[in-house]
């Protein structure tokens, strides 16, 4: 009988193996991953690390930091999740996604090191990122905290700079049901004598209290960036300012000038963050907004140009779906609801009950029929697709 890691040949083999390895999809806590981390990296990380936590805006802030460093010719890696179309999107070095081969090699190393310790799918990806970035000899890695902060597997790494984008109500089953409780969880990424920058305009007091308690060097960014930005939306000005503040904290190690800041911010593109496509004669907007605060931001952008709009929407059952719908409803003429093909998706009959009786809703068999119906609606020029990473991924597959 051959060893298991020799039998797993493709990236898909490995991912389906990982999905079934641990009984829970999300299992917060650092003990398991810490054990393997110490085996693989007894000396810690051979590169500098910026860790980014927060409710919304993590992906954009990371993209800005990543692009600034690329402009300055510093070898930079970013680890983000979830992916939209390909798993490889999670591991990017100087703008290039890691190959299947590099990812599978990292998985083999983790499998050999883990012994009887069960790891979740996300813990595997975290350790794989660190192995890939080490092998590629990057100068700096920007790591996204998947969920919360304190107990997220990325938090096994001691960062050189911490970033907290903002605090809103999301994942309340795991993180608590108030901004204070969630703020405390996110604060878990702070370290003694290490800078942490927060971009929340009205930060929960738990953040400053925790910084004082652990001796972190906390500062707040309250002034939006005023230069040209590659991503649309007012909120991106705050994310850009946060990215520059993070880069400035490491100025003594990696020298970056203002022109490189400006170029990096202006050239940043990120899929599914108010991403606008023109297809046939319609404007299609894709956005991974999946909590009330993110939907409010999306709504503010849509309001700038009021016009008849169809929404294609679905979400995961643990989200505050009714709030999301209520916020944007005044701007939506018709809702098309395709099912999501994931375990945590809301059931269609439950979803339809979240709408008021006056809303025009239509349940669709799948994403391609939803998109087909939206394009056939003659009087409507704008289609907004939002609610989850999964719905945007399904839509992009059909559109492309």
- Domains of the chain, residue spans: 4-267, 275-399
The answer to whether residue 386 scores a pLDDT higher than 90 is yes
> Residue 196 pLDDT > 80, yes or no?
yes
pLDDT band at residue 174 using 50, 70 and 90 as cut-offs: low
- The residue with greater pLDDT, 8 or 142, is 142
Task: Give the closest residue to 65 by CA, choosing from 192, 167, 159, 189.
Answer: 159
Say which residue, 201 or 174, is predicted with more confidence. 201
User: Whose CA is closest to 88, among 101, 98, 78?
Assistant: 98
In the CATH hierarchy, which fold is given to the domain comprising 275-399?
3.90.190
pLDDT, tens only, 210-233: 999 999 999 999 899 999 999 988
Task: Kindly state the average pLDDT of the residues 260-269.
Answer: 97
Query: For residues 219 and 199, what is the distance between their CA atoms, to the nearest angstrom?
Result: 9
Cis peptide leading into residue 213 (ω within 30°): no
The model's pLDDT over 273-283, given as tens digits with 9 standing for 90+, comes to 999 999 999 99
Class of the domain covering 4-267: alpha beta
pLDDT at 1: 33
**Is pLDDT at 266 greater than 80 in this prediction?**
yes
User: Quick check: 397 pLDDT over 70?
Assistant: yes
Percent of the chain with pLDDT over 70: 97
Q: What is the pLDDT of residues 86-135, one digit of tens each?
A: 999 999 999 999 999 999 999 999 999 999 999 999 999 999 999 999 99
Tens digits of per-residue pLDDT, 58-86? 999 999 999 999 999 999 999 999 999 99
The three-state (H, E, C) secondary structure of the chain, written as one string: CCCHHHHCCCHHHHHHHHHHHCCCCCCCCCHHHHHHHHHHCCCCCCCEEEEEECCCCHHHHHHHHHHHHHHCCCCEEEECCCCCCCHHHHEEECCEECCHHHHHHHHHHHHHHHCCCCCCHHHHHHHHHHHHHHHCCCCEEEEECCCCCCCCHHHHCCCCEEEECCCCCCCHHHHCCCHHHHHHHHHCCCCCCCEEEECCCCCCHHHHHHHHHHCCEEEECCCCCCCCCCCCCCHHHHHHHHHHHHHHHCCCCCCCCHHHHHHHHHHCCCCCCCEEEEECCEEEEEECCCCHHHHHHHHHHHHCCCCCEEEEECCECCCCHHHHHHHHHHHCCEEEECCCCCCCECCHHHHHCCCCCCCCEEECCCHHHHHHHHHHCCCCCEEEEECCHHHHHHHHHHHC
Query: Rounded to two decimals, what is the model's pTM?
Result: 0.93
Q: What pairs with residue 391 in β-bridges? A: none
Average pLDDT over residues 377-388: 95
Q: How confident is the model at residue 168 (pLDDT cuts 50, 70, 90)?
A: confident
């Amino acid at each position: 009988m051959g060893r298991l890691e020799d039998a797993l040949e493709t990236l898909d083999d490995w991912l389906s193996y990982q999905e079934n390895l641990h009984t829970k999809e999300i299992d917060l806590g650092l003990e398991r991953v810490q054990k393997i981390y110490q085996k693989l990296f007894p000396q810690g990380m051979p590169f500098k690390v910026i860790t980014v936590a927060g409710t919304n805006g993590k992906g954009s802030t990371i993209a800005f930091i990543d692009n600034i460093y690329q402009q300055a010719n510093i070898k930079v890696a970013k680890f983000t999740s979830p992916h939209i179309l390909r798993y490889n999107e999670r591991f990017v070095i100087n703008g290039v996604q890691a190959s299947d081969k590099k990812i599978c090699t990292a998985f083999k190393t983790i499998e050999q090191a883990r012994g009887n310790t069960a790891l979740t799918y996300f813990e595997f990806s975290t350790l794989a990122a660190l192995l890939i970035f080490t092998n590629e000899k990057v100068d700096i890695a920007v790591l996204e905290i998947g969920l919360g902060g304190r107990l997220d597997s990325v938090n096994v790494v001691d960062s050189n700079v911490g970033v907290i984008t903002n605090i809103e109500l999301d994942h309340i089953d795991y993180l608590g049901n108030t901004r204070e409780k969630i703020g405390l969880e996110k604060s878990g990424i702070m370290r003694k004598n290490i800078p942490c920058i927060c971009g929340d305009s009205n930060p929960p007091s738990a953040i400053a209290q925790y910084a004082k308690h652990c001796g972190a060097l906390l500062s707040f960014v309250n002034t939006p960036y005023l230069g040209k930005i590659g991503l649309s939306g007012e909120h991106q000005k705050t994310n850009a300012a946060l990215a520059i503040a993070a880069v400035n904290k490491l100025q003594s190690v990696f020298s970056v000038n203002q022109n490189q800041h400006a170029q990096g911010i202006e050239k940043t593109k990120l899929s599914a963050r108010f991403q606008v496509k023109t297809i046939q004669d319609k404007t299609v907007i894709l956005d991974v907004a999946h909590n009330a605060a993110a939907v409010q931001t999306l709504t503010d952008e849509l309001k700038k140009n009021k016009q008849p709009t169809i929404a294609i929407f679905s979400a995961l059952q643990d989200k505050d779906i009714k709030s999301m719908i209520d916020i944007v409803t005044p701007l939506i003429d018709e809702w098309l609801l395709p099912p999501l093909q994931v375990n945590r998706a809301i059931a269609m009959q439950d979803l339809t009950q979240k709408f008021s009786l006056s809303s025009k809703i239509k349940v669709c068999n799948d994403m391609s029929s939803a998109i087909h119906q939206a394009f056939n609606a003659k009087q409507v020029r704008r289609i907004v697709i939002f609610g989850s990473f999964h719905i945007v991924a399904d839509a992009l597959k059909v559109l492309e």
